[in-house]
Structures are given as structure tokens and as C-alpha cells.
């Protein structure tokens, strides 16, 4: 049995405008899992992911990172936790006007002292590390390009390289393929799967397509209106469950399969 | 149920009409349209007070129209269109505005001759003129006569001047003869007092210009003018002092040159440009940090940072609401006349204006990358450096160029209150009625503003 990495208990989030995004959500993640979150837009998936690294402050509940209470941390300690948790985003969230290299190096900000990074005096070690990360994602030749000169799929791979720079134990992926052509979905998720298998990086990923869920997830949790509806192995999510989670009108859309 | 029915029955139109007749807007208030009711009451009150203040009772019609309309408004199923009362108030405001602004379009046509005096010289700007050489001669005349007056004759470098008397009272007529001057050349006649103040000699209120004959001689009867003002202890009109009658000749020697005022225009416009440049550059040191502190998306992390945000915002809008020309008047008092006072004023105003613009530039950036950089464990300063600044730089540059553009214009104006640059000259020339020099400065200003407009627009296009 793998060690429990993250334990979420009775998590609630009410936004200032009164929207209850999360309602008493409890689950845990063990090391090495590829855990997928499913649910409609607005069901609380993004909020849940952002509560874990506290980009969003939960209203109540408890989040434990290897037994330590994340919600009790002040800024400095929080930085030390955050740097172990990589994050990739639906909109990639690269700084478009900066170079690919700078975007990737930014993943290292939690490690280097501020005066080094503020002056942009990145040590050779870090530049080499960034190049290795880009190489691994097949983008070594793009290091000097401006981020917005890259295609969507390439930008998302830069996002993964940035997360890799953090030497993360966990990667939070918020709809990583929702803004991409379906044919690119397997490329991106394939990279995540590779990191999961080879580097033993735990993945917590929200996804939309049922076929992708079946293909990549080792375990699935489902959210509906901020409540946890389902927690179990991916193969247990069948059509009936799917309709339950997504509502009656939902159609089981397939991401185009490259191998089909 | 019966209570509810009774209540709604009480809200019948006739009662609200009664209320609205009693006090404007009360009927609306009663049927639940509170904002409308308050609006009607305030409108009638303010309009009524304005009419009373200006005392033209015809305008009482406007508040009355609003009042009556308010009564009629309560009788409808739905609120009625506010076109009629708005029109009544607008017409009234227009009438008052007309009166307050003392509008008199006839004044424009009645004074065409004055316009000609101003605009005529402006069409012959004093920027470039024919190159000329000058020569000058004078003879001393004592005013009034002492026991031992000077001879009234003087020859210097071949220019001979002779007066019919070497002394005289103010108002005496004396004959002057000149010889050895350039022939057939217009010559100006001047009078200088003992301390070097000079003025043109006049005849029937016009400046005297004599033309020398073919031998270079002239003769003219002149009247001794009063130079000393007669006020103050030093202006003792009875004390004999040596004054001077002087002749100045100018003749073209071919080619053109920038006139004296033209040089002043050029140096003034350069001073204005550099004043604006220095002020804009220096203002960056204040505006950049303040811009970050006034950006809500960076400052909403804690109560303390929000307090800073509101504090900085307040100071910025306070400073921004004071026009640079008013700040310049204050700084002229503190540091004295000159470009430095103008620079300080423009700098301070730019800090406020740019700080606001920068903060808006920061607030309009994509929040995604900020989130991404935060997620790496970076601190506030690193988030700003890697997530905010790279995104905000194009708008920073655009706003700075735009501000420099504005600062050049306002530094022209600031010269009027002693802030240096071309404005200082322009102000003097307007006061001295030297409209040819005014015309020259207009050319320089229009040229600079046009070049700047075009240049900064092109530059902004390229950057953004």
C-alpha cells in the first residue's frame, strides 16, 4: 500500500458572492496515483484543485500534506509546500511575451533566492535543468521563441516543463486538454502518464471526456454541484454513472482517438 | 387577506396625486418608486433655488413643469417617459448657462479692427528675417537746462549729429541735423534718458522714421519727450540730467538669418521639450512603484495591502485632480521662477496620472500567468517580476509616451505662470503686444506638437 500523500477532509468553499463551490468534500490521494476528477463545468473541479495549493482559500475543512495541515501555513511555509506541487492549466497560463526559457525557469522560483531571480541571474545549473525539461517534452529548439509563437499543444508542453522544474511530488492539472484539438489530448496526457510511471509523480487531473478518463485514470472522483458523487476505480464509471454525474441530457462525446 | 386588500385600496391613484401635489415626488415615494420620488423632489428644489438665485422668474416654468409632470406621472400604470421634465430642466440650464457665460457673439464681429491688429502681425511671424547691418549715433541733450549745458554737437566714426540746442525742457522743440549716414535709408529716431531707458520719438502718436537723402543727411524737428515718470523721490524733474538723442540705421546685406525672437523661440521650445522629457522620466521613479501599489489584482491579498491600495489610490486621485499649472504656481513660490518650478509641477502631476494609468495597465493583464507563477511557490516580488511586469510592459511604454506628449503641451502653458520654456516668452510677447513673435511661437508649437503626435502614435503602434 502506497503512502497517503494528500488527505482532504470536509472541504467547503463559499465564494464572497454566495456561490457554494465545494460542499463537504473528503477524499485522499496516495503516492503514484493518476486520479481524475470529472464533473460539469461549475461543479467545483477547478476550485478543488486550487484549494489544494491554496490559490483559493477554503472556507472550512482540512487539507493534510503528508500529515501537515496546509491551511495553517503562513506565506513562507506555504511557498515550501507549493513548490512541491506543480500545476498546469486549461489556458496554459504562460507569460505570452516572455521566452519559453523564461517561462520554464519561472517554475524554479520556489527554489532560488529572490535576489537571483529578480535580477534574472539564473545559474547555469538551472538553465541546464530547464533545457533538459524542454528536451524531455520535445521542445529544446523552441527555448528562445516567444511563448505566444508556439501552438496550443506546444504551449501546454511548456506548461508541463515549467511544472517539472519544481521537481514536484504532485501535479495538479486543471482541464489540461480542454483548450486543445482532441487529437492533441493524447499527446499531453501521454506525457503526464509517462511522468506518473517513470518519475512516480502523482497526478490529480480534471477531465471532460469519458474515453480519456477510462484510458488514463487509475482512480476517479466525481463532483456535482460541489458535492462528491463518486470515488472509485475508472472502470466503475459506466454510462449510467456518467449520466448521473452529468445529467440526463449529457451525451458521451469521445475525444478523437489517434489509434482509432 | 382583507388587510392586504385594504392596503392596496389605500394606494389608489387619487391619493398619490394628492401627495405629489403637496410635495413633489411624495406620490412616487408612496407608490414605492423611492429613487424617482427623491429625484423629482431634488430636481424641483435645485431648479427652484437656481431660479431664485438668478432672479429671472420666467424660468419658474421649468420646476413647475417638473412638479406637474410628477403629479401626472403617479396616475399611470407604469412610470412615464422622463422626456418632458428633462427637456424643461435642460432648457432652463441652457438659459442660465447663456447668462452666466455672458455670451455675446456680436462682440466677435464688432471688433474686427482689433482682430486685424492682432492677427495681421501674426501672419508675418518674427522667425526669419533679412540679414541686416546696423549703425548708431547719438548726441547728448541736457534736460532741463543747467547753467553749463553741453554743445549739442557730436561726431563719431564719421557720423555727425547736431542739435539746435544742447539742452531743453520737456516739450521743447529742437531741430536735429545728421550727416555722414547711409544715404537713402530709413532711420529710427530714439530718445534715451540718463539711466539708458529708451523710446521711439513720436509725432502725433506715431513713430518717427526719417529717410536720409542721397548724401546721407537728414534734418528733423523733434519734441523732447518726458522720460522720468514724476513719481518717487529719484524722479526729480527739475534736476538737469544728460539725456540722449539717438539715430539707428539698418540696411539689408543680403541673405536671411533667424531673428533675435526667432532664436528665443527655438531655445524656448528646446527648453520646453527637455523640461517635459526630464519631468516625464523622473516621474517614472514615483509612478512605477505607486502603479503596483494601486493595482487591485496585486493588492487584494490581505487587509493591510488593501489599506495601502486605498491609501495610494486616494493620494493619486487627489494629486491628479490638481492641474499642473496650479501646482506650478505653488512651486514658483517655493523654488522661484524658471523651468525648475515647471518641471516639478509637471513631474508631480505625471506621477499621479501615470501611477493611475500603470495600475490600470496592471489590472488589465491576464490573471492566469500570475496564478501559474504563484503556484510555483514564488513570493510577491517574484510574482510581480515574472508574472506581472512582462505582461504590463507594452502598456507601460504606451502610457509613458502618451504622457510625454501631454507633458510637452502642458509645459508650454506652464511657462505662462513662470515655469520657463517657450510659454514664458509667449506670455511676455502677448503682454507686450508683439504679435509677430507670438506668431513665430505658434509655428514652433504647432510643428512640435504635430511631430510628437505623429511620432508617438507610430511608436505606440509598433510596441503594442
Enumerate residues 62 to 81 of chain B having a beta carbon within 8 A of any beta carbon in chain A.
none
Min Cα separation A141/chain B (Å): 22
The whole-number pLDDT of residue A37 equals 94
Q: What is the number of CB-based contacts under 8 A between chain A and chain B?
A: 88
Q: Give A-chain residues touching B382 at CB under 8 angstroms.
A: 109, 114, 117-118
* Confidence category of residue B79, pLDDT binned at 50, 70, 90: confident
CB contact under 8 A, A82 and B379: no
What percent of chain B is modeled with pLDDT above 90? Answer: 36
Q: Do B375 and A96 touch (CB under 8 A)?
A: no
Angle, alpha carbons B247-B253-B259 (nearest 5°): 75
Cβ-contact B26, B20 below 8 angstroms? yes
With a cut of 60, say whether residue B185 has pLDDT above it: yes
Domains present along chain B, CATH in parentheses: 2-100 (no CATH), 128-257 (no CATH), 261-463 (1.10.3720.10)
**Is-cis flag, bond preceding B33, omega within 30?**
no
A197–chain B nearest CA distance, Å? 22
Q: How high does pLDDT run on average in chain B?
A: 87
Distance from CA of A236 to the nearest CA of B (A): 33
Rounded to whole angstroms, how far apart are CA atoms B291 and B359? Answer: 4
pLDDT at A234 over 50: yes
pLDDT average, residue stretch B5-33: 75
Helix (H) / strand (E) element for B206: namely strand B206-207
Q: Do A93 and B381 touch (CB under 8 A)?
A: no
Q: What is the total residue count of chain B?
A: 464
**CA distance, residue A167 to nearest chain B CA (Å):** 10
Q: B385, A118: Cβ pair inside 8 Å? A: yes
Q: Cis peptide leading into B460, omega within 30 of 0?
A: no
The arithmetic mean of pLDDT across residues B365-378, rounded, is: 93
* Residue A38, CA atoms < 13 Å, CB-side half-sphere: 29
Q: What pLDDT, on the 0 to 100 scale, is given for residue A258?
A: 44
Cβ of A102 within 8 Å of Cβ of B386? The answer is yes
% of chain A residues with pLDDT over 90: 68
pLDDT tens for each residue of A85-137: 999 999 999 999 999 999 999 999 999 999 999 998 999 999 999 999 999 99
Are residues A169 and A110 in contact, defined by beta-carbon separation less than 8 angstroms? Answer: no
* Interchain contact B306–A (C-beta under 8 A): no
Among residues B379, B40, B425, B143, which one has the least CA distance to residue B268?
B425
Average pLDDT on A199-217 reads 89
Residue B5 has pLDDT above 60, yes or no: no
Residue B212 pLDDT more than 80?
yes
Distance in Å, alpha carbon of A251 to nearest chain B alpha carbon: 30
Q: What is the mean pLDDT of residues B302-331?
A: 91
B302 by Cβ neighbours in 10 Å (0-12 / 13-18 / 19+) ranks as exposed
d(CA A210, CA A230): 14
pLDDT of A249 higher than 80: no
Going by the DSSP 8-state scheme, the letter that residue B371 receives in this structure is H
Helix (H) or strand (E) holding B423: helix B422-431
**Long-range contacts, stretch B120-124, CB < 8 angstroms, 24+ apart:** B120/B435, B121/B434, B121/B435, B121/B436, B121/B438, B121/B439, B122/B435, B122/B436, B122/B438, B122/B439, B122/B442, B123/B439, B124/B436, B124/B439
Per the CB < 8 Å rule, is A117 touching B385?
yes
What single DSSP character describes residue B332? Answer: H
At residue A251 the predicted structure's pLDDT band, cuts being 50, 70 and 90, is: low
Pick from A55, A82, A97: CB nearest B390: A97
Longest dimension (CA), chain B: 121
Alpha-carbon separation of residue B222 from B228, B259, B411 (angstroms) = 18, 30, 46
Choose among B368, B371, B376: nearest Cβ to A106: B376
Residues of A in contact with B393 (CB under 8 A): 97
Q: How confident is the model at residue B455 (pLDDT cuts 50, 70, 90)?
A: confident
DSSP-derived letter for residue B386 is I
Using the Cβ of A91 and the Cβ atoms of chain B, whether some distance falls under 8 Å is answered with yes
Percentage of chain A beyond pLDDT 70 is 95
8 Å CB contact of B390 and A94: no
* A200 Cβ contact partners less than 8 Å away, ≥ 6 residues apart: A31, A32
Gap between the Cα atoms of A29 and A44, Å rounded: 18
Question: How far apart are alpha carbons A176 and A36 in whole angstroms?
Answer: 12
β-strand A4-14 against A20-30: which pairing, if any?
Answer: antiparallel
Residue B291, all three cell numbers: 502603479
What pairs with residue B130 in β-bridges? B256
Q: Is A104 on the interface with B (CB under 8 A)?
A: no
Q: Is the pLDDT of residue B343 over 70?
A: yes
Q: Is B424 helix (H, G, I), strand (E, B) or coil?
A: helix
Distance CA B401, CA A36 (A): 50
Cβ within 8 Å, pair B372-A55: no
Q: Strand, coil or helix: what is A180?
A: coil
Alpha helices by DSSP H, B191-302 = 260-293, 296-299
Residue in chain A nearest B377 by alpha carbon: A79
Contact indicator for B365, B340 with CB cutoff of 8 Å:
no
Question: Residues of B with CB below 8 A from A95's CB?
Answer: 369, 373, 386-387, 390-391
3-state secondary structure of A98: coil
Give the count of beta carbons closer than 10 Å to the beta carbon of residue B334.
9
Which residue on chain A is closest to B372 by alpha carbon?
Answer: A93
List residues bridging with B210 in a β-sheet.
Answer: B187
**How far is the alpha carbon of B300 from chain A, nearest alpha carbon, in Å?**
13
Q: What is the mean pLDDT of residues B79-87?
A: 87
A129 touches chain B (CB under 8 A): no
Determine the pLDDT at residue B11: 55
Give the cell for residue A11: 472541504
For residue A230, the cross-strand partners are A222
φ, ψ of residue B219 to 5 degrees: the values are: -140, 145
- Chain B residues whose CB is inside 8 A of the A119 CB are none
Q: How far is the C-alpha of B86 from the C-alpha of B95, rounded, in Å?
A: 14
Give the CA angle between residues A221, B376, A69 to the nearest 5°.
60
Query: Is the pLDDT reported for residue B350 higher than 60?
Result: yes
Q: Do B375 and A85 touch (CB under 8 A)?
A: yes
Q: Which residue has the higher pLDDT, B22 or B228?
A: B22
| CB-count burial class (<10 Å; 0-12, 13-18, 19+) for B363 | middle
**A244–chain B nearest CA distance, Å:** 32
- Give residue-wise pLDDT tens across range B90-141: 988 888 888 888 888 887 778 788 888 888 888 888 888 888 888 999 999 9
A106 reaches B (C-beta below 8 A): yes
Q: Which residues contact B306 (CB under 8 A, 6 or more apart)?
A: B299, B300
Residue in chain A nearest B392 by alpha carbon? A97
CA distance A208 to A44: 13
Cβ within 8 Å, pair A106-B387: yes
A192: cell is: 503526464
Residue-level pLDDT at A99: 93
CB B351 within 8 A of CB B290: yes
Angle (CA) A155-B375-A55 rounded to 5° is 120
CA distances from B454 to B405, B458, B462, B463 (A): 10, 6, 13, 15
Interface test with A, best of B376, B394, B464 (most A CBs within 10 A): B376
Write out chain B residues lying below 8 Å of A94, CB-based.
369, 372
Q: Which of A81, A87, A109 sits opposite B382 (nearest CB)?
A: A109
Q: Does A75 touch chain B (CB under 8 A)?
A: yes
Using the Cβ of A95 and the Cβ atoms of chain B, whether some distance falls under 8 Å is answered with: yes
Nearest to B344 by CA among B410, B398, B293: B410
> Which B residues 359-378 touch A at CB under 8 Å?
366, 368-369, 371-378
The single residue listed with the C-alpha cell 503594442 is B464
In B294-387, alpha helices (H):
296-299, 303-320, 324-335, 339-363, 367-375, 380-383
Q: Is B194 exposed, middle or buried (0-12, 13-18, 19+ CB in 10 A)?
A: middle
User: So what's the pLDDT on residue B232?
Assistant: 56
**ipTM score:** 0.91
CA distances (Å), origin A65, targets A13, A30, A170, B6, B293:
19, 11, 11, 65, 33
The pLDDT tens digits of the residues spanning A180-193 come to: 888 888 999 999 99
pLDDT tens string A19-73: 999 999 999 999 999 999 998 888 899 999 999 999 999 999 999 999 999 999 8
Distance of CA B421 to the CA centre of its chain: 13
Which residue of chain A is at minimal alpha-carbon distance from B302? A75
DSSP state of B387: I
- Say if the Cβ atoms of A87 and B372 lie within 8 Å: yes
Cβ proximity of A220 and A232 under 8 Å? yes
Q: Indicate the pLDDT class of residue A254, thresholds 50, 70 and 90.
A: low
Sheet-wide strand order for B218-223: B153-156, B159-163, B173-179, B218-223
Of A189, A218, A206, the residue nearest A31 (C-alpha): A218
Amino acid at each position: 500500500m502506497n503512502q497517503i500523500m494528500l488527505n482532504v477532509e470536509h472541504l467547503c468553499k463559499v465564494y464572497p458572492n454566495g456561490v457554494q463551490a465545494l460542499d463537504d468534500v473528503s477524499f485522499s490521494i496516495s503516492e503514484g496515483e493518476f486520479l481524475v476528477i470529472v464533473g460539469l463545468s461549475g461543479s467545483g473541479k477547478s476550485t478543488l484543485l486550487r484549494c489544494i495549493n491554496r490559490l483559493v482559500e477554503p472556507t472550512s475543512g482540512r487539507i493534510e500534506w503528508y500529515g501537515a495541515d496546509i491551511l495553517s501555513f503562513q506565506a513562507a511555509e506555504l511557498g515550501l509546500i507549493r513548490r512541491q506541487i506543480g500545476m498546469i492549466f486549461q489556458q496554459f497560463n504562460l507569460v505570452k511575451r516572455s521566452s519559453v526559457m523564461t517561462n520554464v525557469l519561472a517554475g524554479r522560483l520556489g527554489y532560488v533566492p529572490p535576489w537571483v531571480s529578480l535580477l534574472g541571474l539564473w545559474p547555469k545549473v538551472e538553465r541546464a535543468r530547464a533545457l533538459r525539461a524542454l528536451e524531455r517534452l520535445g521542445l529544446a529548439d523552441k527555448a528562445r521563441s516567444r511563448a505566444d509563437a508556439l501552438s496550443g499543444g506546444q504551449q501546454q508542453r511548456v506548461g508541463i516543463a515549467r511544472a517539472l522544474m519544481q521537481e514536484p511530488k504532485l501535479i495538479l492539472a486543471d482541464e489540461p486538454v480542454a483548450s486543445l484539438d482532441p487529437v492533441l489530448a493524447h499527446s499531453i496526457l501521454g506525457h503526464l502518464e509517462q511522468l506518473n510511471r517513470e518519475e512516480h509523480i502523482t497526478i490529480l487531473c480534471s477531465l471532460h471526456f469519458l474515453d480519456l478518463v477510462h484510458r488514463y485514470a487509475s482512480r476517479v472522483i466525481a463532483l456535482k454541484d460541489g458535492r462528491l458523487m463518486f470515488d472509485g476505480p475508472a472502470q466503475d464509471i459506466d454510462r449510467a454513472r456518467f449520466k448521473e454525474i452529468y445529467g440526463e441530457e449529457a451525451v458521451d462525446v469521445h475525444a478523437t482517438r489517434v489509434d482509432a | 387577506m382583507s388587510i392586504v386588500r385594504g392596503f392596496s385600496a389605500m394606494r389608489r391613484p387619487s391619493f398619490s396625486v394628492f401627495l405629489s401635489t403637496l410635495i413633489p415626488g411624495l406620490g412616487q415615494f408612496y407608490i414605492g418608486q423611492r429613487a424617482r420620488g427623491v429625484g423629482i423632489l431634488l430636481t424641483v428644489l435645485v431648479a427652484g433655488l437656481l431660479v431664485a438665485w438668478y432672479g429671472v422668474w420666467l424660468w419658474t416654468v421649468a420646476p413647475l413643469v417638473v412638479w406637474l409632470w410628477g403629479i401626472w406621472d403617479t396616475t399611470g400604470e407604469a412610470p412615464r417617459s422622463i422626456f418632458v421634465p428633462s427637456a424643461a430642466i435642460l432648457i432652463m440650464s441652457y438659459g442660465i448657462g447663456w447668462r452666466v457665460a455672458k455670451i455675446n457673439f456680436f462682440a466677435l464681429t464688432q471688433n474686427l479692427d482689433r482682430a486685424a491688429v492682432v492677427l495681421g502681425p501674426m501672419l508675418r511671424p518674427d522667425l526669419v528675417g533679412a540679414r541686416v547691418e546696423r549703425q548708431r549715433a547719438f548726441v547728448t541733450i541736457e534736460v532741463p537746462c543747467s547753467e553749463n549745458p553741453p554743445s549739442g554737437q557730436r561726431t563719431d566714426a564719421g557720423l555727425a549729429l547736431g542739435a539746435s540746442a544742447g539742452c531743453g525742457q520737456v516739450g521743447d522743440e529742437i531741430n536735429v541735423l545728421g550727416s555722414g549716414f547711409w544715404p537713402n535709408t530709413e532711420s529710427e529716431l530714439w530718445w534715451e534718458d540718463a539711466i539708458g531707458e529708451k523710446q521711439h520719438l513720436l509725432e502725433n502718436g506715431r513713430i518717427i522714421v526719417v529717410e536720409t537723402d542721397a548724401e546721407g543727411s537728414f534734418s528733423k524737428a523733434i519734441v523732447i519727450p518726458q522720460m522720468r515718470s514724476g513719481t518717487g523721490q529719484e524722479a526729480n524733474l527739475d534736476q538737469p540730467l544728460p539725456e540722449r538723442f539717438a539715430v539707428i540705421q539698418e540696411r539689408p546685406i543680403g541673405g536671411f538669418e533667424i531673428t533675435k525672437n526667432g532664436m528665443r523661440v527655438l531655445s524656448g521650445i528646446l527648453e520646453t521639450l527637455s523640461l517635459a522629457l526630464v519631468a516625464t522620466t523622473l516621474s517614472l521613479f514615483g509612478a512605477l512603484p505607486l502603479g503596483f501599489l494601486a493595482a487591485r489584482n496585486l493588492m487584494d491579498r490581505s487587509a493591510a495591502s488593501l489599506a495601502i491600495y486605498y491609501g495610494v489610490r486616494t493620494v493619486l486621485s487627489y494629486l491628479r485632480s490638481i492641474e499642473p499649472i496650479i501646482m506650478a504656481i505653488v512651486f514658483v513660490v517655493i523654488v522661484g521662477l524658471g523651468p525648475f518650478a515647471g518641471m516639478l509641477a509637471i513631474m508631480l502631476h505625471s506621477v499621479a496620472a501615470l501611477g493611475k494609468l500603470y495600475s490600470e495597465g496592471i489590472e488589465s493583464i491576464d490573471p492566469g500567468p500570475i496564478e501559474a507563477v504563484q503556484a510555483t511557490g514564488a513570493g510577491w516580488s517574484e510574482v510581480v517580476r515574472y508574472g506581472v511586469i512582462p505582461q504590463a510592459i507594452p502598456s507601460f511604454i504606451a502610457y509613458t509616451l502618451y504622457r510625454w506628449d501631454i507633458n510637452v503641451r502642458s509645459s508650454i502653458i506652464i511657462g505662462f505662470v513662470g515655469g520657463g520654456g517657450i510659454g514664458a516668452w509667449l506670455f511676455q510677447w502677448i503682454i507686450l503686444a508683439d504679435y509677430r513673435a507670438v506668431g513665430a511661437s505658434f509655428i514652433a508649437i504647432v510643428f512640435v506638437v504635430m511631430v510628437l503626435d505623429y511620432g508617438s502614435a507610430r511608436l505606440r503602434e509598433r510596441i503594442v
